[in-house]
Amino acid sequence: MSILFYVSVLLSFLRDVTRPRAAEESEAAVKSIQEALDEYDREHAFARRVIPPEEERARLTATRWEGGYRWFRTPNVVCLEKARKLKTEGRI
């Protein structure tokens, strides 16, 4: 048998060993919306310290929001852009 055959078998084996199983992937991908939003907020903790919340930004400046990162101090307000981004990334 050729060495190419052995290399392809070895690569196929390594790919199967290193790739998570489909059940593990689906369990990891399925999260509640609140868990995904909390994780997103932890990832963007620095931005929340640097960028003022939307309520203050709108009150202090006359410029309108034109995209980019924004957050709300009010806990019951969810930024729809954040939820859409998490959905497109497959996190919820």
Three-class secondary structure of residue 69 per DSSP? coil
How far is it, in rounded angstroms, from Cα 7 to Cα 15? 12
Q: Which of 48, 13, 37, 47 is nearest to 87 (CA)?
A: 37
Strand runs labelled E in 4-91: none
8, two tokens: 């392809």
Record the pTM: 0.49
pLDDT in the model for residue 32: 79
* pLDDT tens by residue, 15-54: 766 665 554 555 555 567 788 888 888 998 998 888 888 8
